[in-house]
Amino acid sequence: MKSIFDILSDVSNFPELRERASLSICSWKAEHEDVYTDFKNKMNNISTGDLSALEEMFSLASDCLSDKAAGMTTSSLPGYGTAEGIWQNLPQYAKSYIAETSKKDGKATKEDCLSLIEESVDYMNTCMSFVPSFVSNLKAKAMDEENDVIRCMYYYMMFDGGSTKMIETLNSIMDEEILDQEDLTMIHGAVGFMVPSSINLGVETKESWEKVANLCAPEIWKGISYELSRSEGNRGRKVEVKCIDSLLMRNKSALKEKIFLFIEENPGPICLAYLLIALIRADAIKKNVSYTTFHRAIEQLTGRKIGIDCPQKRYGELKDYRFSGPQKGCWAKAKQIIYLWTDIFAAVV
């Protein structure tokens, strides 16, 4: 029988699934700006005591919990094994918290700490047995068109700097509140999770986290710096997935109708390069959009996969090319299509 961790990691096409989900969420956000703005305002107000956004998230999580476990257990947490192994790999703040929690008559021995770790592992194993049903229920909630919380959470974390903003919120709380050891441990845990996960997903970079760290209190600064020292980074690039609505300007519905007409009349993948240049020349799309972002947005709009290498190469060749004088061969065809559709897109008001 597979373990829970095997089941959760057995997704060979995860990058493709994530990209499809991201495109869908971006499209939804472009059509529900008011809903997302309300959610974002609630997140920004957490530091002032408005916990309505957290209440919505906890309510969602509670609804996804099953009354029964899936009947699967794990013998230990992966990567560590014994309580001693876990203890040796814990950061100092976690050891301090465990020692403080394990105190009996004002003292805590190492045996007391290891005993608490063993109890925690047993508890985690029990919790993990509920994960498969939780994930299944969460997926069903995500498919519910009336459930906006999941979509808002996804966009906030993946595309709106949610990880860094939440750490900034925790930093402001540290500045204004008197926190105990348990509070500090929770904040350290949040830093330890958000920094590496956001970098691995490509939604943040080492540079963006360094900027946040420089604005934070010493405790959080040290936590971020420690996680950055352990991370290989993502070569400074963030994931950039956008829907066509977020790229187009002016009358988006009318422009999308013309785009569908363009693709119908010019089905070759290489013609997407001509399409982007015509849109830019007509001031119908943001000029700083990358070809890859545009290409993915067109794939999401049309619902089909389109080749990428040739159009991207042709776009690079044509982007700064000046069509002065007579053209021959493929350049003549490119000029004809681009000039024709520049006028068509420019006429959309």
Lowest mean pLDDT segment, chosen from 51-55, 135-139, 181-185, 299-303? 135-139
pLDDT by residue (tens digit) across 34-86? 999 999 998 888 877 787 887 887 787 777 766 654 444 444 444 456 788 88
Please give the pLDDT value at position 341. 94
Q: Could you give the CA distance from residue 222 to residue 224 in angstroms, rounded to a whole number?
A: 6
Q: Could you give the CA distance from residue 146 to residue 31 in angstroms, rounded to a whole number?
A: 14
| Residue 182, token pair as written in the block | 């348990």
For the segment 113-132, the average pLDDT, to the nearest whole number, is 72
Contact 195, 231 (CB under 8 A): yes
3-state SS track over 223-251: HHHHHHHHCCCCCCCCCCCCCHHHCECCC
Q: Return the higher-pLDDT residue of 274 and 177.
A: 274
Contact 298, 306 (CB under 8 A): yes
Q: Could you give the CA distance from residue 346 to residue 281 in angstroms, rounded to a whole number?
A: 8
159: nearest Cα among 191, 203, 200: 203
Q: Could you give the CA distance from residue 309 to residue 269 in angstroms, rounded to a whole number?
A: 9
Q: What band does 328 get if pLDDT is binned at 50, 70 and 90? A: low
312: nearest Cα among 335, 291, 293: 291
Lowest mean pLDDT segment, chosen from 16-25, 77-86, 194-203? 77-86
Contact 335, 323 (CB under 8 A): yes
Q: What band does 3 get if pLDDT is binned at 50, 70 and 90? A: very low
Contact 74, 6 (CB under 8 A): no
Does 282 score more than 90 pLDDT? yes
